[in-house]
Chains A and B, each alone.
Chain A
Amino acid sequence: MGKTLLRLGALMVIDAAALGFAYALYANGTIAFAVVLLAVTALINVIFLSERLAPWRWISPGLALMALLVLYPTAYTVYIGLTNYGDEHLLSRGQAIAQLENEYFTPEEAPTYGWTAYRSPGEDLLLYLESGEAGAFVATEEGTQPAAERLGSEPAGPPEQIDDYARLDQNETVGVLAQLEDFAAPAGETGPQGSEVRVVSFDEAAPQFQRYDYEALTGELTDNEAGTVYEAEDGFFVSEGGERISPGFATVVGAENFTRIFTDPNIRGPFVGVFVWTVVFAAMSVVTTFALGVGLAMLLNDERLPFRGLFRSLTIVPYTIPFFITALVWVGLLNPIYGPINQIIEFFTGLSPQWFSDGTLAKVAILMINLWLGFPYMMIVCLGALQSIPEEVYEAAAIDGANAFHRFFYVTLPLLLVSVGPLLLGVFAFNFNNFGIIELVTQGGPPNPEAGTPAGQTDILISYTYRLAFASGQGTDYGLAAAVSVFIFMLIAVITIFNFRLTRRLEEVS
């Protein structure tokens, strides 16, 4: 009984927190995530209130985190991939309209005024306006009057005080600039009918009209100054003559980002290059680390070998050091001018390879570094697998007259691949997305001069995605970046299916 009450109490606390959280997010415009949050909370309630679902209670914390921070972002990625979200389309449609409706223009015939700001104790603002031809006026948000009328006599200049409004000096005026930007007074006699006096610049105020009117029913935006009508098209308001208004807004463009990957020559060119290198990089990383790992494991797989434990421990040192540290250390080792490796190479050959400014050499450097980082893992894995191969198999092979070469390629390697095959695919998949090594060693460089998108010569798909979204001088393109992510998703899915097939076939073998 007490337990049930406790559970109900805890649920109520969770619900209240989630509701508050969701409401705050909703109010700020993050609607989808708020809805998912509420759905997850509702599910938790069901799980904890139903006796039948009791086993799920234990899983629910992890599951809730997964739903909110893995599954939702995944769905969101797909959605972004279908939009043109990016540099010129950062706002939502509503935000873009609100921003456009906040633009004003000064009609041609209207006079402009010099202004002086005043502030009342209640923080209200007042402007004293002066113009050579039109005369002086006093403007508040309530209305505008000729100065002579308001003050009782024609003033010689802006007075110290107007009623309880005190004149602001320059510093004080700067302090209320934000408030001044929103200040609008009915124009009265200062300008055309229906206009509002606004501060245009630090020394100018003028009667202005709202520039754009948005008609929600038709979705049309009218430019009041020129009389042009704009319609929403692909994230911009576009006139009949094809003229666009900035800012644009994010909108669903369908499969456009995906078709761009394959049809836009500026994107397709670098994308194919990046894709090929990604596969080569991941495959070569597996092959080189596996070759060295197997070799060392074969050497160590001898129980009578002296210092076996010591050798084993010393060779796995590269694996124990956090990889961001060793990757950066290797960049220093390979420094073309000062690095010790180049000093040695130069001593023997007179050449000093420019590891990071030549595309091919940069790729070689990355593979070399990745070999050093990755071989100990392969060694550990293979050592375990080798020890599980029964001695009788070798004895049988020896009876059949197999030499060392035969033994390795026809007995050891196939049996080894059975047990470590899935792990090899795991390493392949890991390197397929090994952002860290690329970013730490070359940042994708050297740059590819022919690429229309920011793709360096050593960029793999994931670092290319990162550059599209976050790190380019050529503008951010979240939509394209998300589309590339989705593409990688699909590739990994294919690799995974292949992995499962292979695992099953390998299990049948043994």
Chain B
Amino acid sequence: MSATTGRRSAETAPDTGQAGSTGRKPGLGLKTRRRLTTGIKLGLLTLAVIYALFPVVWVISSSVNPTNSIVGQGLIPAGATLENFRSLVGDPANPFPLWMWNSIKISAISSFFVVVACALAAYSFSRFRYRGRRAGLLSVLLVQLFPNLLTIVALYLLLQQIGQVFPSFGLNSHGGLILIYAGGALGIYTWLMKGYFDTIPKELEESAMVDGASRLQSFIYVFLPMVRPILAVVGVLTFIATYADFLLPRVLLTSTDQYTLALGMYQFISEQYTQQWGIFSAAALVGALPIVIVFFALQRQLVGGLTSGGVKG
């Protein structure tokens, strides 16, 4: 059913709804009513899809537009070309591939640290009973509520001081950035993992330990393979959040070759907005594609993690 029909029906819908307080609609059979509501719904949803997708369609269109300028773009460009994608490579002032690599490297290493620290902590919270366990769980959650961007002044000054002694962990270094991301490891994801760990029966590790494995061995060889899905979810969610982070790179990174993709694209477009629109669009597509693919591939698992884990950030 087309969007126009849907909209026309939408106008009549409230009348019928309010008139029949008993829920009966005079003159309409059940089947017709059902079809009408479905039509309205499909029409409205089509509008929503148009709303959700038009910026994306526009970016795709400009990325293959030969003019490269934001000016006078039609939706379907004449003489579509991949020239803009080719320009992404080989511009020394705006090294998109390097920025993307930086982003992927920083995000991957950070999420590795986060997953390791989180899994270890969640295992302790899930498997052992001891004094301070509840307090530990609560404080992990509490600390998470205060995002590290509030301490940005202190982090900046701290990295400045560290950098005077160890430049690879100071300002304008990936090491320092990764360290800060890893510092936020314990948090809501520890809870997410703990919840999952609780569903794994203890007996499997215990039988391995009866067979002579140590606690650590049973953790690595028996337990971890069983919880791989949740490790993947936390890893991917952390990766996506780190990949999209903007504040920390903006404050801490200063030289072009250290930039992340977020920072690089921001600088690129704020300098030459209207002239380089095509190249920017191509970069946007290339930069977004891996994340979009991963998201849809793991949609079911990720959505569960997101809705229990608060907001993407």
Contact = CB atoms under 8 A, between A and B. Distances in A.
A314 B51 CA distance: 10
A469 B156 contact: yes
Given A66-B186, A466-B251, A322 B21 contact: no
Contacts of A80: 153-154, 157
B53 interface: yes
Interface string A287-325: 000000001100110101111000101111111111111
A430 B311 contact: yes
Contacts of B93: none
14 contacts: A28-B165, A33-B158, A56-B130, A59-B124, A70-B151, A296-B45, A313-B299, A320-B292, A324-B244, A328-B265, A331-B269, A403-B20, A466-B152, A492-B145
A295 B116 CA distance: 40
Interface in B138-162: 142-143, 145-158, 161-162
Interface in A405-446: 405, 423, 426-427, 429-430, 433, 435-436, 439-440
B306 A59 contact: no
A18 interface: no
A306 B246 CA distance: 39
A436 B52 contact: no
The 9 closest A-B pairs by CB, nearest first: A69-B183, A62-B117, A58-B124, A55-B128, A73-B151, A76-B154, A320-B295, A73-B154, A322-B244
Contacts of B277: 332
A232 interface: no
By CB atoms of chain B within 10 A, which of A30, A332, A339 has the most? A332
A319 B295 CA distance: 9
Nearest to A428: B311
B253 to A, nearest CB: 12
A439 B247 contact: yes
A382 to B, nearest CB: 10
Contact of A405 (B17, B179, B306): B17
Nearest to B289: A321
Contacts of B240: 322
Given A465-B152, A485-B152, 12 more contacts: A33-B158, A56-B124, A56-B132, A62-B120, A70-B183, A77-B151, A77-B153, A330-B55, A403-B18, A435-B149, A465-B153, A492-B146
B45 A73 contact: no
B280 interface: yes
B59 interface: yes
Interface in A43-73: 54-59, 61-63, 65-66, 68-73
Contact of A325 (B41, B125, B287): B287
B230 interface: no
A393 B265 CA distance: 51
Given A73-B148, A77-B150, A315-B49, A62 B266 contact: no
B175 interface: no
Interface string B281-292: 100100110011
Contacts of B161: 25, 28-30, 33
Interface string B191-229: 000000000000000000000001000000000000000
Given A25-B161, A324-B266, A398-B23, A61 B116 contact: yes
Contacts of B299: 313
The bracket for how many chain A residues form the interface is 35 or more
A333 interface: yes
Contact of B118 (A62, A305, A470): A62
Interface stretch (A158-166, A200-208, A267-275, A373-381): A373-381
A262 interface: no
A311 B45 contact: yes
A353 interface: no
A340 interface: yes
Nearest to B215: A54
A488 interface: yes
A504 interface: no
A359 interface: no
A389 interface: no
Contact of A58 (B72, B123, B281): B123
A185 interface: no
A423 B240 CA distance: 20
A426 B133 CA distance: 25
B307 interface: yes
B101 interface: no
Contacts, number: 275
B79 interface: no
Contacts of B183: 65-66, 68-70
Interface in B266-280: 266, 269, 273-274, 277, 280
A333 B295 CA distance: 25
- Chain A interface SS verdict (over half): helix
A315 B45 contact: yes
B44 interface: yes
By CB atoms of chain A within 10 A, which of B72, B247, B251, B306 has the most? B247
A69 B184 contact: yes
A324 B55 contact: no
B143 to A, nearest CB: 6
A489 B150 contact: yes
Contacts of B136: 59
Given A69-B180, A325-B265, A485-B153, A381 B307 contact: yes
Interface in B226-243: 240, 243
A405 B143 contact: no
A435 B53 CA distance: 25
B298 to A, nearest CB: 11
A160 B92 CA distance: 49
Contacts of B310: 423, 426, 430
A472 B310 CA distance: 33
Given A340-B73, A469-B156, A426 B49 contact: no
B12 to A, nearest CB: 14
B17 A324 contact: no
B21 A59 contact: no
A74 B22 contact: no
B291 A62 contact: no
A311 B49 contact: yes
A30 B150 contact: no
A335 B55 CA distance: 13
A462 interface: yes
Given A314-B52, A430-B311, A305 B247 contact: no
Interface string A85-100: 1000000000000000
A10 interface: no
Nearest to B299: A313
Contacts of A322: 240, 243-244, 262, 287-288, 291
Contact of A320 (B164, B266, B296): B296
Contacts of B154: 73-74, 76-77, 80, 482
Interface in A150-206: none
Contact of A328 (B69, B152, B266): B266
A372 interface: yes
Contact of A372 (B55, B244, B247): B55
A76 B247 contact: no
A306 B303 CA distance: 22
B227 to A, nearest CB: 14
Given A427-B311, A430-B313, A62 B38 contact: no
A212 B247 CA distance: 43
Contact of B307 (A74, A332, A384, A492): A384
